[in-house]
Structure 1
Amino acid sequence: MKTIQYIAAVLCSLVLSGCSDFSDSINTDPTRPGVASGTQLIANAALYLPGLSSSPKGEFMAQYLAETQYVGTSLYPQESTSFYSWYEEPLMNLQAAIDSDDLDAGEGPIANQIAVARILKAYFFWNVTDRWGDIPYTEALQGSDNFTPVYDSQESIYNSLFEELKAAVATVVEGDIDNDIIYGGDMSKWQKLGNTVRLLMALRLSEVAPARGKEEFNDALNDGVFSSNEDNLVFRHLPEANNQNYWYGQIVNQNREWWALTETLVDEMKPVNDPRLPVYGNPARESDEYVGLEFGEEENIGTEEYSLLGSDIYAQDAPVYLVTYAQVRFAMAEAAERGWIGGDAATYYNQAVEASVEQWTGSTEEVADFLTQPGIAFEPGNAMKMIGTQRWVHLYMFGYEAWAEWRRTGYPDNLVEPNGVPVPGRLSYPDNEVFNNADNYEEAVQRQFGGDDDIHGKVWWDQ
């Protein structure tokens, strides 16, 4: 059944481009549907979820991977980066489902179709605003009605997303939906996802609005968040070309052995015999040992002497982990340490590490011994660093999320500055905005960064 759903979704991706009604086309193909259903629009949007994670740039931001070929791409050049694809594809399709007057109750309760679309829409917007800062939001997704949307402040976007997620979860009724390639139509898991995203968003406010963060964190926790790895938001690829892992296409299809594990990552994992390391990377072919490459190294590089990206990570059907139970437990450990919630930070931390090992290795057999290792065993006097560093290890290959947590907490505290260039604080806006939406672009840049669209500016919560 899941394979059929995936194939259906892939076929949808070939015929959808952000619109739901193709009946006006002068080139009508009678073998394809003229109108996409609500669940097809949602499935099409879900196909873009792995793109939130699968990106060399994201891995460079978190310093998980080091370039072995074109090192300059990893040295944080000041360059334009586009957010257009997120608006034009997944967000537009989700908005079309939300606005549709023709949703088919035969595909599941209409309220649930809209709820899922709203949860996914909020999740995509959260990722976009955390990368760029202020972005078009309230006036976005209006098609030809508005080509020059204003940029909403990140603070206002966060406030809106909190309410959007609460409302979406509250509207869920009994009954599954069709074509759900993520949770198989299980609405209880979608509700947990909505609450879990709220929980993680609330923690982002720890340095800029801690009182609001604490309130939202507890509300989300009380409403019900992930309780095991079974709840994880995971995109599961297939062992076929139509829906394969991004890294498989790069490394196997195009023979690009361009990425080694960083020295920072290997030095964190190898001394403690971390059971996740054999999944994260392969031993160096020259020595059969795990050897990290210094991030940004431009001279002593190669593919034989360093540990390249792990075979399990770039398998054709390798999954992409986006929101996970381990993240919830790391968040609770930090919240307990901050006094936001009751409970023992050490217990939550141990549960987080255990969930992470289980997620990545499929086993918890080695966890008990692993948690006693010096450097892994929880140290109350060093709590924030341990939680932040182990969360970074866990978030491997979702570099953008790890980068966001690094910006917020400063952990791990040993990321390098290649050629003296610090890790950026944001992505710069698309070049086209200067021409296509000049007034709103310039106002947003002035408001946030004093007029300079610089990658070393800071987003609202990173103050």
Structure 2
Amino acid sequence: MKKSFYSKLIALGSIILLPMSCINNDDLLNNPNSIPESGIVPPTLILNRITSHLVMPEEFFFDQAHRQNQYFVSNYSYYWGTNFYNWTNSKDQYSLLLYANRLEEQNEKSTNANDKAYYAALSKFFKAYSFIWLSQRVGDIPMKEAGDSKNLRPKYDTQEEVYVHSLQLLEEANELLNNLPVEIQNRVADASGDIFHLTYLQWQKVINSFHLRTLISLSKRADDTPELKVKETFAKIINNPQDYPLQSSNKDNMSYVFNQDHNPNPIFRKRAYTYGANISKTILDLTTSSLDPRTYAFATPAPAKYNTEGLDVADFKAYVGVSTNTGQAEIFATTDTEGIATNDRGPYSYMNYKRYLSSQDGSNSEPYTVIGYSELCFNIAEAINRGWISGDANQWYLNGIKESLELFGLKDGQSFSIGDRTGGDLGEVKINVDQFLNHKNVAYKGNNSQGLEQIIQQKYIAFFCNSGFEAFYNWRRTGFPKFEEGGVGIGTATNKIPLRWMYPQGEITYNSENYLQAIQRQYNGSDGTFDKMWLIK
């Protein structure tokens, strides 16, 4: 009986296998859902991938970048990370380059002239963005040979070459967009692919504003590297608004907008652990000393100030930042974790729960800005201060401050609700913008080193938890504002802040010959985090 069963089973298996043995193995390797090399991938799909991944996870609100920009200080590493600057290997943005190349390739197959110019311009912008993103972190990088799947060991270009080429890409991107018909400029260029939902004209403005950001970042090389044409190009862009349109209000910002269903605010999940995030001394010392109303927007009053000392929540003395120099355990020891507002005696201000954690879609806070108008105003003010262009530095400086206030939703005479770290109401304050703008620390001190320091300080405040590591890069370039360093909280061997990241591990492992040549050329064979790259020498 058992033998008969197995005989039938074997026979049945033979019948099943018989037709399968006739299948061509090549047929099994073909994915019916893939697009062949000769096929067309709609550029809108590629653009969606690029724009949705343009901002790295650590660059968003209250993440790694903003601990090291010294906007907030973590006292609990499990939820908010450490404050240490013990940087190791950098990430890269080569995936952005690969998709930009793919966008360019697929765009060549397009028959629509306007789309062809638009996507070609964006491809050039994203390439420049990816090159600059990595180069300002490490120095020389593979550029001309990067992105070629057949060349896994691309040679390194010098940082100077990277910037020369990137500036040229930005120039070409603007030229392409200049050729678009006037009647389509104010239409959203790609509503389904572009998560920023920018019009053709707004994209052109963003690219040119990024161009000026890049030129300002080269301030240390403006006089000794004539091939960069830093001052000349900056002046050309400013003096030819018809050919180089720039952002003109916050409406032109490249902003990353969250939504509840598909792209929630990433810090919303941490809302039960707000005791772990204090606002830093670096920024609160600047804002409270000048009676800056933005203090109320991003910070809570320190519980010890209103619960123990009885200070009013409108009193700027009630807002106290913690130094990044301080060890994490020491900060945590003073922190209330129970969340009972009347019992909390914590000595430091927390992040503003009402603003940043009360909505999953981020609708109660300012949007995350990637490239914004306020920054542009400060960059123009800095160029005037340095003598690169003529103009009224004070007016651009004030424009930058006012646009930042607008982005935070702050108006003169407005009633503004103050909350504790769990979102409970503590009362209201009256916003006094005029008092702030007329403060001696804010009134522009002229086109001199003091005026330059004011410009960078106000740009730093406007950058609050936005624009990636731009606040750090500005500090590294100018020394403003003064960052906290020297204490155990910094976490490096010398308790000093590093100046760069080490090269990505992939470069060290798979492109070692070119990597070793690059670090020998730049840093005498070192890949240390305190080595000075060409950009900031």
* 1:158/1:24 CA distance change after superposition, 3 Å: farther
Pairing partner for 1:130 from 132, 136, 139: 136
Pairing partner for 1:233 from 241, 247, 254: 254
Aligned partner of 2:501 in structure 1 is 427
Alignment of 1:21-420 (within 5 A): 26-28=30-32, 36-51=41-56, 53-54=59-60, 56-70=63-77, 73-83=82-92, 86-88=93-95, 90-100=96-106, 103-104=109-110, 109-143=115-149, 145-172=150-177, 173-174=180-181, 175=184, 176=187, 177-178=189-190, 179-210=192-223, 212-221=229-238, 222=240, 223-240=244-261, 242-249=262-269, 251-252=270-271, 255=273, 257-285=275-303, 287-288=305-306, 289-298=318-327, 299-302=329-332, 303-304=335-336, 305=346, 306-311=348-353, 312-314=355-357, 315-318=359-362, 319-361=367-409, 363=411, 366-380=432-446, 382-398=450-466, 399-419=468-488, 420=494
* 1:170/1:78 CA distance change after superposition, 3 Å: closer
Instruction: Decide whether the 8 Å contact of 1:97 with 1:103 is kept in 2.
Output: no
Q: Which moved more, 1:169-178 or 1:49-58?
A: 49-58
Aligned partner of 1:8 in structure 2 is none
Instruction: Decide whether the 8 Å contact of 1:229 with 1:359 is kept in 2.
Output: yes
Measured on the aligned residues, the alpha-carbon RMSD in Å equals 2.7
TM-score with structure 1 setting the length: 0.85
* 1:132/1:372 CA distance change after superposition, 3 Å: same
Instruction: Decide whether the 8 Å contact of 1:39 with 1:113 is kept in 2.
Output: no
Give the SS at the match of 2:73.
strand
Give the SS at the match of 1:425.
coil
* 1:26/1:413 CA distance change after superposition, 3 Å: same
* 1:231/1:422 CA distance change after superposition, 3 Å: same
Deviations 1:185-244 (A, max 9, x none): 51111111111111111111211223622112112223222111111111111123x212
Distance 2:453 2:197 in 1: 38
Distance 1:433 1:440 in 2: 9
Aligned partner of 1:4 in structure 2 is none
* 1:38/1:103 CA distance change after superposition, 3 Å: farther
Distance 1:122 1:243 in 2: 26
Match for 2:145: what amino acid?
Answer: E
TM-score with structure 2 setting the length: 0.74
Q: For structure 2, which runs of at least 5 residues remain unmatched after alignment?
A: 1-26, 307-317, 337-345, 414-431, 489-493
Deviations 1:123-167 (A, max 9, x none): 232222212221221111112x11111221111111111111111
Distance 2:360 2:291 in 1: 27
Distance 1:182 1:348 in 2: 29
Instruction: Decide whether the 8 Å contact of 1:385 with 1:411 is kept in 2.
Output: yes
Distance 2:412 2:208 in 1: 26
Distance 1:47 1:72 in 2: 24
Distance 2:502 2:250 in 1: 35
Distance 1:154 1:197 in 2: 18
* 1:225/1:307 CA distance change after superposition, 3 Å: same
Distance 2:42 2:202 in 1: 22
Larger Rg: 2
Q: For structure 1, which runs of at least 5 residues remain unmatched after alignment?
A: 1-22
Distance 1:115 1:364 in 2: 41
How many matched pairs? Answer: 431
* 1:224/1:296 CA distance change after superposition, 3 Å: same
Distance 1:103 1:364 in 2: 53
Distance 2:29 2:484 in 1: 52
Give the SS at the match of 1:243.
coil
Q: Which moved more, 1:71-80 or 1:386-395?
A: 71-80
Instruction: Decide whether the 8 Å contact of 1:204 with 1:213 is kept in 2.
Output: no
Deviation of 1:383 (Å): 0.5
Same amino acid, percent of matched pairs? 27
Give the SS at the match of 2:169.
helix
Give the SS at the match of 1:234.
strand
Deviations 1:428-449 (A, max 9, x none): 1123322211011111111111
Instruction: Decide whether the 8 Å contact of 1:68 with 1:259 is kept in 2.
Output: yes
Give the SS at the match of 2:255.
strand
* 1:109/1:434 CA distance change after superposition, 3 Å: closer
Instruction: Decide whether the 8 Å contact of 1:94 with 1:118 is kept in 2.
Output: yes
Deviation of 1:416 (Å): 2.2
Deviation of 1:45 (Å): 0.6
Distance 1:391 1:224 in 2: 22
Match for 1:73: what amino acid?
Answer: T
* 1:205/1:94 CA distance change after superposition, 3 Å: same
Distance 1:170 1:268 in 2: 41
